[in-house]
Each structure stands twice: as structure tokens, then as C-alpha cells.
């Protein structure tokens, strides 16, 4: 069985790469192992290839990704899609590799020497090379080897065995050559079997897209187009070329895996293969830097794999453009007319906000509420106290009513007031009110 690459959980662990591992010298394909390493660089710049494993040192990245448990769950979920079958944590890389080979997930909440003392000899390559002799000496676990006289072990097996033991147990510092990202992304995947239908390519393509998304995240970039190529079987008809391909273009540069998969799945559903396929190649064609944006109310949705722009585009296509709208600023001094709702895909006009120097309430009432007056002071849950104002607004002479005549002129003095309960209110006094009316005071907005 071809080795399946894997990844790591937090704090310097790694994962076993082969679900049928029998020897610590059974390597994963170099291109596949590197692809997993490139994907892992989105979590930390400290990624290394240790034998057939991919290891990450992520202690400095835990807070960025929401803590150890959240990061571990994400690495495990995405790693499984890449074919990773074993995951483990440990205080150092070699210990994590050994624990992964022994199917021990967590190497951080129990003393390391107790865990390693129980695992078999084959989890460390330098020990497994002398496994037959050590077995005849009665050694079955790393703990048995650790209890042998060090001088005798060095004379009989050399320094490499004890060096690996000391590194795994944390008695010796380890050095790694950190993996570097390539300038261009090209990933290859040999399919486990021949695929006859285009839709069947999606399983392998998703693995390649996951790798590309991680590579893009590590480069803080996105793609505007990518190409999936497939190699036809040798026994294809004469009129079928060696390779077929499909290029996907996006409306905006992105690196969201879900969006890539949706677009590719739609195109594959409309594609007919000329022959069975045995190999896939994914190429990132147009790579552009992405500006990192945060602070949106839809941040969690963005982390799930769909940007706000993609979400609004999809909703507009499904519900109709008139049913998905956004607010734009208008050059109007009246608060109720300073914003207009337009379809989400309509270009935004350049409008200067005339209310920039005036405090604006968080919530604006759809209809101003007339307030009761007592001793010439407006009441709202008790007497109101003015904190700032007045801010005079005189506007609206350009509007027309339904009959084509002039609309009523808005002449108001706005005040920032506070109630007895500490609520900040946006209140105005109507300068054009009828003296016979009950009150000239109105509540128009509430501050958050």
C-alpha cells in the first residue's frame, strides 16, 4: 500500500505517514510528503520532514488559531483529507514520530519517559536497525533498551542508537532544516484506481485543492485561476490525447477550499472523459497577494471557507438581486435619508457623508416617537438631560411628495441626551411644529 502522508497536533508533534508501517525506513513518496509539508506551513513557519513524517512546532501559533484543541481538530480534519492516518503530539519531534508509529495520540499529558518506555523497538529507526540483536538480549520496548548499560550499548551498536534515544527522551537537543515554500504550486496525485467518470475525479482533486489552499495561506495569497490536468490511461483510443485539463477562474482572488471545490465540482459535472484517468496534476495559474481582513461580523463564516463576497454572490443568484441589498451613504443631512438600500451587485456611487462631525446613533427608529414634555423637559423613562447639542438640520426642500408638490421641510435641532437609566438617546426638537401640538420633542435614535 502506498504510504499516506500525515501531520501533527500542537506543541511539536508529528504524525505517522504509513497506515501499514512495518519498518521506520519505509518512506513516503517525496512529492507527496513535501505537499503535506507545504499545506502545514499555513499553521507555523516551523515545519520539517523527519524521516517519513511531517512535523510542526506550533507552540507559538496556538493563540492565533484559537487554542490547542481547536488547532488540533483543524489539523486532524484537514490532514485526513490529505490521506493522513495517524496523528500524535509530543514535546519534541522525534518523540511525536515515535508515538505516532505506536498509535499513541497524546504525548503531552503524561511523563514522556513513561510513554516511550512502553512502545516497541521499531518506532525509532536507529533502534529498529538492531532489533534482531536487541530482541535476543531480551529487549521488547524502548524502556528495555534504556535500562541497558550505556557504555556497552555504544561499543556494540555505535553512537547513533543512543543519540536517537536521547533525542526522543528529550535529553539531547534536536536540530531541523525547516521546509521552505516553492515559488509556484504544482501538485501531482497518482490515483489508486482508474476513474471512468469526470465526477469521480473530485475525490482526488479535493486532496490537491486542500494542499493548494494551505500553500496559499502560508504565502498570504490567493488564486484567480487554477488548472486541473488529468492523464488518460495508456490503453486509450487513438484520437484521445495523453492529457486533458480544466481551467477554473474565480470572480476574485481567493484561497477558500469550499469555493474551489464547488466551482470545480460544477465544471466536472459537465465534463466527459475521453478515457479512464490514472493521474491528476493541479497547477495554481494566477497567484496574487491577499490583504488579510478581520473584524467582520461574518468572520466565523469566512473561516468555514466562504468569503462575504462569495456569500452575497451566491445568495443573489439564488434569491434574486433585488432581494439581497446593501446600504450605501447618501449626501443628505436628514438622518432617515442619509442611507439607501440598493442591490448588492450595484456599483457604489461616490458620496460624501455630510454627517461626519455629528454623533450618529447605533439604532434609528423607523418613525420618530413623540415624547411627553413636563416642565419644558422631554420625558423618556424619566426626565432627559442634555449632554450635547443642538445640531441643527434644515434640509429636504428638493424632495417632492406623491402629488408632485413640495415635501415638508425638515427643520430640527438634535440633542444627545441621557435618561435616568443611563441610556444615550438621539432626540430632536421640531422647529416647524404646530404650537397646538402636544410636544415638539421626538426620539429618533438610540446609541449602543
The residue out of 107, 134, 169 marking a domain boundary is 169
Alpha helices per DSSP H over 66-221: 68-81, 93-101, 112-118, 125-128, 131-136, 142-146, 150-157, 159-169, 202-219
The residue out of 257, 274, 289 marking a domain boundary is 289
User: Is 318 contained in some domain?
Assistant: no
Grid cell, residue 5, equals 502522508
269 and 408 in a common domain: no
Judged by DSSP in three states, 82 sits in: coil
- How much is the pLDDT for 247? 92
Report the alpha-carbon distance of residue 98 to residue 14 in Å, rounded. 9
148 and 41 in a common domain: yes
- How much is the pLDDT for 338? 72
280 and 204 in a common domain: yes
Report the alpha-carbon distance of residue 36 to residue 43 in Å, rounded. 12
* Contact between residue 280 and residue 205 where contact means Cβ atoms under 8 Å apart: yes
User: Is 339 contained in some domain?
Assistant: no
144 and 226 in a common domain: no
- How much is the pLDDT for 2? 31
Report the alpha-carbon distance of residue 135 to residue 144 in Å, rounded. 10
- Residue 79: how many CA atoms within 13 Å on its side-chain side? 31
Judged by DSSP in three states, 424 sits in: strand
Q: Which helix (H) or strand (E) holds 258?
A: helix 257-269
The residue out of 260, 289, 318 marking a domain boundary is 289
Distance of CA 54 to the CA centre of its chain: 21
CA angle 89–91–94, rounded 5-degree value: 80
- How much is the pLDDT for 23? 23
191 and 85 in a common domain: no
Beta bridge partners of 446: 363, 425
440 and 396 in a common domain: yes
239 and 136 in a common domain: no
- How much is the pLDDT for 223? 92
Report the alpha-carbon distance of residue 11 to residue 88 in Å, rounded. 10
Residue corresponding to grid cell 461580523 = 297
130 and 214 in a common domain: no
User: Is 9 contained in some domain?
Assistant: no
Report the alpha-carbon distance of residue 316 to residue 301 in Å, rounded. 17
User: Is 320 contained in some domain?
Assistant: no
- How much is the pLDDT for 27? 36
Report the alpha-carbon distance of residue 167 to residue 127 in Å, rounded. 13
Nearest in space to 93 (alpha carbons), one of 211, 10, 215: 10
Q: What is the pTM of this model?
A: 0.52
107 and 51 in a common domain: yes
- How much is the pLDDT for 225? 92
CA angle 309–312–317, rounded 5-degree value: 125
Report the alpha-carbon distance of residue 378 to residue 91 in Å, rounded. 67
139 and 81 in a common domain: yes
User: Is 381 contained in some domain?
Assistant: yes
Q: For the sheet containing 410-418, what is the strand order?
A: 363-370, 441-446, 424-430, 410-418, 385-395
Cβ neighbour number for residue 267 with a 10 Å cutoff = 14
398 lies in which domain range? Answer: 363-446
Q: Please, which residues have CB within 8 angstroms of residue 174's CB and are 6 or more apart in sequence?
A: 92, 93, 94, 167
The domain total for the chain is 3
212 and 129 in a common domain: no
Give the domain CATH number at 223. 3.30.1490.100
Grid cell, residue 271, equals 465534463
Q: Collect the ranges in the chain with pLDDT lower than 70.
A: 1-31, 292-306, 331, 348-357, 396-408, 435-437
258 and 151 in a common domain: no
User: Is 81 contained in some domain?
Assistant: yes
Judged by DSSP in three states, 60 sits in: coil
User: Is 47 contained in some domain?
Assistant: yes
Amino acid at each position: 500500500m502506498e504510504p499516506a502522508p500525515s501531520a501533527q497536533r500542537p506543541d511539536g508533534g508529528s504524525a505517522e505517514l504509513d497506515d501499514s508501517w512495518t519498518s521506520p525506513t519505509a518512506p513516503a513518496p517525496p512529492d507527496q510528503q513535501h505537499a503535506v509539508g507545504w499545506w502545514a506551513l499555513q499553521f507555523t513557519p516551523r515545519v520539517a520532514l523527519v524521516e517519513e513524517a511531517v512535523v510542526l512546532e506550533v507552540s507559538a501559533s496556538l493563540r492565533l488559531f484559537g487554542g490547542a484543541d481547536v488547532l488540533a481538530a483543524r489539523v486532524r480534519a484537514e490532514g485526513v483529507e490529505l490521506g493522513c492516518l495517524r496523528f500524535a503530539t509530543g514535546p519534541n519531534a522525534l518523540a511525536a514520530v515515535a508515538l505516532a508509529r505506536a498509535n499513541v495520540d497524546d504525548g503531552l499529558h503524561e511523563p514522556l519517559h513513561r510513554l516511550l518506555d512502553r512502545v516497541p523497538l521499531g518506532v525509532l529507526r536507529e533502534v529498529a536497525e538492531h532489533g534482531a540483536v536487541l530482541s535476543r538480549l531480551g529487549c521488547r520496548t524502548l524502556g528495555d533498551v534504556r535500562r541497558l548499560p550505556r557504555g556497552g550499548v555504544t561499543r556494540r551498536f555505535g553512537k547513533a542508537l543512543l543519540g536517537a534515544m536521547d533525542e526522543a527522551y528529550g535529553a539531547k537537543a534536536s536540530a531541523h532544516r525547516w521546509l521552505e515554500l516553492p515559488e509556484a504550486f504544482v501538485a501531482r496525485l497518482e490515483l489508486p484506481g482508474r476513474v471512468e467518470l469526470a465526477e469521480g475525479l473530485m475525490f482526488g482533486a479535493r486532496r490537491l485543492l486542500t494542499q493548494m489552499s494551505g500553500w496559499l495561506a502560508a504565502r498570504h495569497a490567493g488564486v484567480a485561476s487554477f488548472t486541473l490536468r488529468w492523464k488518460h490511461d495508456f490503453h486509450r483510443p487513438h484520437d484521445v490525447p495523453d492529457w486533458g485539463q480544466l481551467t477554473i477562474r474565480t470572480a476574485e482572488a481567493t484561497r477558500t477550499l469550499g469555493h474551489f471545490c464547488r466551482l470545480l465540482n460544477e465544471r466536472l459535472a459537465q465534463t466527459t472523459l475521453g478515457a479512464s484517468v490514472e493521474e491528476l496534476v493541479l497547477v495554481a495559474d494566477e497567484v496574487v497577494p491577499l490583504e488579510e481582513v478581520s473584524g467582520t461580523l461574518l468572520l466565523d463564516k469566512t473561516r468555514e471557507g466562504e468569503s462575504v463576497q462569495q456569500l452575497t454572490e451566491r445568495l443573489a443568484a439564488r434569491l434574486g438581486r433585488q432581494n439581497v441589498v446593501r446600504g450605501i451613504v447618501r449626501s443628505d443631512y436628514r438622518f432617515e435619508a442619509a442611507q439607501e438600500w440598493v442591490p448588492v451587485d450595484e456599483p457604489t456611487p461616490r458620496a460624501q457623508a455630510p454627517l461626519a462631525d455629528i454623533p450618529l446613533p447605533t439604532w434609528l427608529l423607523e418613525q420618530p416617537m413623540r415624547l411627553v414634555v413636563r416642565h419644558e423637559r422631554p420625558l423618556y423613562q424619566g426626565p432627559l438631560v442634555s449632554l450635547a447639542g443642538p445640531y441643527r438640520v434644515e434640509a429636504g426642500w428638493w424632495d417632492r411628495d406623491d402629488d408632485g408638490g413640495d415635501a415638508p421641510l425638515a427643520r430640527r435641532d438634535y440633542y444627545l441626551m441621557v435618561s435616568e437609566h443611563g441610556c444615550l438617546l438621539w432626540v430632536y426638537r421640531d422647529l416647524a411644529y404646530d404650537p397646538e401640538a402636544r410636544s415638539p420633542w421626538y426620539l429618533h435614535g438610540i446609541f449602543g
